[in-house]
Amino acid sequence: MEILFALLAILVGGAIMLGGGEVLVRGASRGALLFGIPPLIIGLTIVAVCTSAPELTVSLMGCFREGGSPEIAVGNIVGSNICNILLILGFAAVIRPITVSVQLIRNEIPFLVLISGLFWIIGWFTVGGSASEHFFPRWGGAVFLVLLVLYMIWAIRTVRKEENKPVADNLCEKKISLPSSPDEPAPAKNIFKESLISLVCIALGLGMLIFGSEWFIDGAIKIATAVGVSKLVISLTVLAVGTSLPELVVSAVAAFKGNTDIAIGNVVGSNIFNLLGILGLTSLLVPGGLALSHQAFVFDIPIMILVAGIGGYLCITDQKLTRIEGILLLLGYAGYVVFLLLHGQTA
């Protein structure tokens, strides 16, 4: 019965977080467009941050709630990045083969592989009381946040250079439903009303994310305790899939409608923000940095790096991700989850 209530808490919490993320995205986008910020810049900044808000709230709440569990933060970030490529990108490719843009191949995909490896390298050289204790330190979090800012600046400049390309404009206009465009600003008499609606949506979305993450984490911890697997395994699987629901919905719908550039751009962009933004902020705020469990350091983080490399390789070949390759990615995720559940008993 306890497991049933825990599952219900996860489902309810996940639904609340999904709804909160949607409300937050719409509120932030509505306000940005109201003041004339181009849609593509919104997609690269505000939407990227907001669709990763569930991961951010779960990671922070996992560390700072009573009896904090930093392994939940690490597992959620690593598990979400693995899930995004193997499950979400694989599922999108099965729906419709994905054509990969040259910009992603030259810039974002190599950058994702680079920062994934940098995560592991920093942990390797930052040890605690014994050689087996590794951490992602606070200074590492500061470096990642600086890299995020530099990446955002570079991305915005790149967009401005190519803002006359209609395909690029369509990418972010179709990613979310927006009430207007910067070329058609709202009448002056409606600015106050629209601004107020945006603020209410942002506040409501944040509240739903925090409330839902509490239920989500409580349910996951109870299941981990009841079935005898570690919190890390639960965060790598249940929490990772649950907090990746916004990305899953966006990529699946985009692939179904033929907007495959959105599907893959959403996955790569979310993974970059998960590492630079969420990992960076969480490790910076936690005293002493984030402790990396032995399993995460020697298995899950290397798997995340490997998955990023494999995903990048498949995208580079013929600049396309086929249905067969999508099925292989899904099978890879199924195998990964089965392995975790079979070998994830607590020590």
- Predicted pLDDT of residue 222: 81
Q: Report the b/e string of 81-100 with b at 16+ CB within 10 A.
A: bbbbbbbbbbbbbbbbbbeb
* Measured distance CA(258)–CA(116) in Å, rounded: 29
**pLDDT-flagged residues of the chain (< 70):** 21, 25, 28-29, 32-33, 35-51, 65-69, 127-132, 159-189, 250, 262, 344-347
- Predicted pLDDT of residue 47: 61
- Predicted pLDDT of residue 320: 85
- Predicted pLDDT of residue 170: 42
Contact (CB, 8 A) for 251 and 262? yes
In terms of Cα–Cα distance, which of 316, 188, 206, 212 is closest to 264?
316
* Measured distance CA(140)–CA(162) in Å, rounded: 33
Determine how many CB atoms are found less than 10 A away from the CB of residue 197: 17
- Predicted pLDDT of residue 174: 39
- Predicted pLDDT of residue 41: 58
Strands 290-292 and 134-136 come out as antiparallel
- Predicted pLDDT of residue 326: 92
- Predicted pLDDT of residue 87: 93
Specify whether the backbone of 189 is left (phi greater than 0), alpha (psi in -120 to 50) or beta. Answer: alpha
pTM of the model: 0.76
From residue 65, alpha-carbon distances to 62, 176, 256 in Å are 6, 32, 39
Residue 335, Cβ density class (10 Å: 0-12 exposed, 13-18 middle, ≥19 buried): exposed
